[in-house]
Amino acid sequence: MYIKVLVELSAFNIDKTFTYHVPEEMVDGIKIGIRVLVPFNNQKLEGFVLDITDNIEEIEVKDIISVVDNEPILTKELLELGKYLSDETLSTLISSYQAMLPKALKAKNGSKVNIKYQRIVEIDNLDGVITPKQQEIIDKINQNGKCSYTELKKINSSVDTLLKKGMLRIKDVETYREVNNSKFNYPRHELNNEQKEVYNEIVNNLNSEQSYLLYGVTGSGKTEVYMDIMEKVISLGKTCLLLVPEITLTNQILKRMEARFDKIAVLHSGLSDGERYDEYRRIKRGEANIVVGARSSVFAPLENIGVIIIDECHTESFKQDVMPKYDAIEVAKWRSKYYSCPLILGTATPTLDMYARASKGLYKLLRLPTRAGKAQVPRITICDMTKEEHIKNSMISKTLFDAINHKLSLHEQIILLQNRRGYSSILMCPDCGYTMKCPNCDISLTYHKTKELMRCHYCGYATKKINVCPDCKNDQLKELGTGTEKIEEEIKSLFPSARVIRMDLDTTTKKGTHDKIITSFAKGEYDILLGTQMISKGLDFPNVTLVGILNADTSLFIPSYKSNENTYDLISQVAGRSGRSEKIGDVVIQTYNPDHFAITLASKNDYEGFYKEEMHNRLVGKYPPYFYLTLVTVKSSDYELVSKEINKIKSILESKLVDKEVIGPSLGVPFKVNNYYRFNILIKYKKELDLKIVLKDLIDHYKSNYKIKIEITFNPNNI
Ligand code: ADP
Ligand code: ZN
């Protein structure tokens, strides 16, 4: 027997199968999708068996060393999916398979995650005199027919005597690490008429591969609808896949699911490798019929999937930003076709791209326009910071200050958002709101402190830093970029009696801290929750009646063609945290651009209006969804080399691509990462045509050049 093996090394020049011979004694263990250990050059590598054959062309064929698994790791479906993924993202096939698997099951020599075993004691042969102490042990075992050794040992030590006499026997059985143990009571709601309509539409089409865009305002009861649909799917003996953004996973949605379903597996990055491995095995063995997880769980080895749901589907984190750069929504579509089951994309703020697809009929649009239960839409106040008084030089306006004090006196809770951390600051005129824009692109320039330059991250344009506002001649330009930590100080001094908790990347790095902050805030142990956009999604706190957005402009002037959309999205999402129960909620938006359409329309909840206006901008600027974007990133640790090659690559692309704009090269942001210098070339086009072939040729051309790395990103998030 001969097999074709895809080895664990991810490089384009070895991304093909190699043929090996299987010695007679190992033949029985070989199946397609199983891992084997093989000699490769002078190493021992693991790889996946992709094909079994009797005839070979090669002259010199080596024997495999061993078979790694008892059962195939990759199912027929996942093998096919991996091929699709590597074609679609122009990544190596091996990187696609590896991306689908938990660490314990990747083909990777020497990284073993252990299976946990438990020592179980059973009755063997009760023959002879039994003391009362021994009887206690036997009674305990008889309760369930078996019992763990540790538990018996706690009762008394005669278990050892019984074992020695052969009256009991011991064996090691595989167990799972406990992931969830918190049971939580969450009332079930009878669906209202709007919800029922959505439910009926989907439940009547459970055998079709229809993609739905469920556009439901925050608090409209989408989650409630998901759960009813899932219940139906499970009653039909099928399984459900629910994807949520990483950050919302540790909170309530999971607890709500657990209150209603008992065979849930959870997959997210907060689990240890061992826990992930266990959850994965439970899924593979059919012991879980619901998988709730973040992006990569779109590859969960469920079989017989009956519905796939992607909640908060507008979230950028559903796209992976390292190779293979896949979009979980596209993978979900592939699987929904494979299983002929519906795909539900749920959101309160569809991306323009999704809404455009729905208008074209590619997605079926379903709406939940009102809040469920008794909750009302919050009152939104736009606070014009060019006119408003700041309290004691802080970021807090008089309006917000008064609103916070009022809510504190009512013992209601407050969420404050200081959005987006980690971006280099921009310069803005505090009097008139001016920010400098690129002459070639409709985006703000970023202030680069080291070189005192204003740079366009899109086309590479650069100019000297300005010190005076060209509109109103103010020479006190402001660097935007106050972080959450500074705000925390300000708030504590402005509201000395308030209990304040901060949630951002810095306060949530440790496992479980995110959950802890949410839980203690939900219990009312704090009055004010301050955080980054981490707090904007999915949370449901009934006692929160005020949300303050400290600076809506930060996201507005992030240099990206999506900045208007992101701002609209952020305001609606965070506003959706206010007044989710009986008490009416308030929202205060602080901005230097009170007339900006993204802000005014978000404050009126006018998505249609926003969509119309922003689609016009996209058309004029030749941006998605009218045009597609593909980013070619070229990187190397050799600066001279990459600066030279990037221009060659640009001319190759320009000469070979038909009907496409080739823009750049521009510097990667940041330019140097891990000692790699990065350049970007952006391709804009209406029709894909020859694109993949040309890019594949380019990759092929450079595949044996170890000094140059090429990465392709289709529909990049950050441009
Ligand atoms: P979404 O997922 O759209 O944000 P949720 O499902 O979280 O909405 O529902 C928002 C709130 O309304 C929750 O507190 C939920 O328990 C409640 N709710 C949902 N559906 C109903 C209903 N039909 N009747 C009463 N309350 C409901
Ligand atoms: Zn530009």
456 DSSP β-pair partners: none
Average pLDDT over residues 559-580: 84
Q: Give the Å distance between the CA of 661 and the centre of ligand 2.
A: 15
Higher pLDDT, 684 or 246: 684
Instruction: Give me the DSSP letters along 438-451.
Output: -SSSSSBPEEETTT
Distances, alpha carbon 448 to alpha carbons 28, 193, 676, in Å: 63, 54, 19
Residues 72-97: b if buried by 16+ CB within 10 A, e if exposed: bbbeebbbebbeebbebbbbbbbbbb
For ligand 1, what atom is nearest to the CA of residue 581? 14
Reported as type and span, the H/E element at residue 488 is helix 484-494
The ligand whose atoms approach the alpha carbon of 719 most closely is 2
What distance in Å separates the CA atoms of residue 287 and residue 681, rounded to the nearest whole number?
A: 47
Question: What integer pLDDT is reported at residue 656 of this predicted model?
Answer: 94
State the pLDDT confidence band at 422, using cuts at 50, 70 and 90.
very low
| Cα angle, residue 67 at apex, residues 64 and 71 outer, rounded to 5° | 145
pTM above 0.85, yes or no: no
pLDDT at 394 over 60: yes
Of the residues 185, 193, 223, 345, which should be mutated to test ligand 1's pocket, given the most ligand atoms within 8 Å of the CB? 223
* Ligand index nearest the alpha carbon of residue 445: 2
Q: Is 28 buried (19+), middle (13-18) or exposed (0-12) by CB count in 10 A?
A: exposed
Residue 608 tokens read as 């249609």
Looking at the predicted structure, is the pLDDT value of residue 420 above 60? Answer: no
How far from 694 is each of 326, 656, 699, CA to CA, in Å? 20, 7, 9
Per-residue b or e along 264-284, where b marks 16 or more CB atoms closer than 10 Å to that residue's CB? bbbbbebbeebbbbbbbbbbb
What's the CA gap between 317 and 303, in Å, rounded? Answer: 25
The predicted pLDDT at position 704 comes to 84
- Tell me which of 56 and 226 has the higher pLDDT: 226
**Distance of CA 454 from the midpoint of ligand 2 (Å):** 11
Element housing 343 (H / E): strand 343-347
pLDDT band, residue 288 (cuts 50/70/90): very high
Supply the pLDDT for residue 310: 97
Taking residues 334-356, report their average pLDDT.
96
* Rg of the chain over all Cα atoms, to the nearest angstrom: 29
At 111 the pLDDT is 61
Nearest residue CA, atom 24 of ligand 1?
A: 373
Q: Which of 132-141, 162-171, 311-320, 511-520 has the lowest mean pLDDT?
A: 511-520
Ligand 1 nearest-atom number relative to CA 187: 16
236 against 456, higher pLDDT: 236
pLDDT computed for residue 515 by the predictor: 78
Q: Residues lining ligand 2 (ion), CB within 5 A?
A: 438, 440-441, 456, 458-459, 461
CA of 284 to the centre of ligand 2 (A): 49
pLDDT: is 428 or 710 the higher one?
710
Mutate to test the pocket of ligand 1, among 189, 217, 344, 366 (most ligand atoms within 8 A of CB): 189
Strand order through the sheet with 660-673: 660-673, 676-685, 628-636, 709-714
**Cα 299 to middle of ligand 1, angstroms:** 29
* pLDDT of 250 strictly over 60: no
What average pLDDT does this structure show over 706-714?
91
How much is the pLDDT for 423?
A: 33
Average pLDDT over residues 533-546: 78
Give 562 or 718, the one with higher predicted confidence. 562
**Distance between CA atoms of 324 and 320, rounded to whole angstroms?**
7
Mean pLDDT throughout 568-577? Answer: 84
* pLDDT: which is higher, 19 or 246: 19
Q: What pLDDT score does 253 carry?
A: 80
When pLDDT is averaged across residues 529-546 and rounded to a whole number, the result is 80
Spatial contact of 681 and 642, defined as CB atoms under 8 Å apart:
no
Evaluate if residue 421 carries a pLDDT over 60: no
Phi, psi of 428, rounded to the nearest 5 degrees: -140, 145
**Which ligand has the minimum distance to the alpha carbon of residue 537?**
1
CA angle 570, 604, 522 (to 5 degrees): 50
- Ligand 1 centre to CA of 223 (Å) is 7
- Cα-to-centroid distance, 501 and ligand 1 (Å): 26
| Contact (CB, 8 A) for 283 and 205 | no
Mutate to test the pocket of ligand 1, among 537, 540, 541 (most ligand atoms within 8 A of CB): 540
Residue 232, phi then psi, degrees to nearest 5: -60, -45
Instruction: Give residue 283's Cα distance to chain centre.
Output: 20
**296 φ, ψ to 5°?**
-70, -15
User: pLDDT digit string (tens) for 2-35?
Assistant: 999 999 887 777 788 999 999 999 999 999 999 9
Binding-site residues, ligand 1, Cβ < 6 A: 189-192, 195, 216, 218-224, 372-373, 540, 580
With residue 357 as reference, give the H or E element that holds it. Answer: helix 352-359
**In which residue are the tokens 């997210």 written?**
268
Contact 557, 518 (CB under 8 A): no
In the prediction, which pLDDT does 424 show? Answer: 40
Nearest residue (CA) to ligand 1, atom 25? 373
Determine the distance separating the centroid of ligand 2 and the alpha carbon of 426, expressed in angstroms: 15
Tell me how far apart the alpha carbons of residues 274 and 202 are, in angstroms, rounded to a whole number: 36
Pairwise CA distance, residues 99 & 611, whole Å:
35
The pLDDT assigned to 295 comes to 94
Question: Token pair 């027919």 is at which residue?
Answer: 145
- Give me 255's structure tokens: 């607890």
Tell me the average pLDDT of the chain: 88
- Ligand 1 centre to CA of 377 (Å) is 13
pLDDT digits (tens, 9 = 90+) for 466-483: 888 888 888 888 776 566
CB 385 within 8 A of CB 480: no
The rounded Å distance from CA 344 to ligand 2 centre is 37
Stretch 505-515: mean pLDDT: 71
Which pLDDT score, from 0 to 100, does residue 518 have? 84
∠ CA 260-263-269, nearest 5°, is 100
pLDDT at position 488 over 50: yes
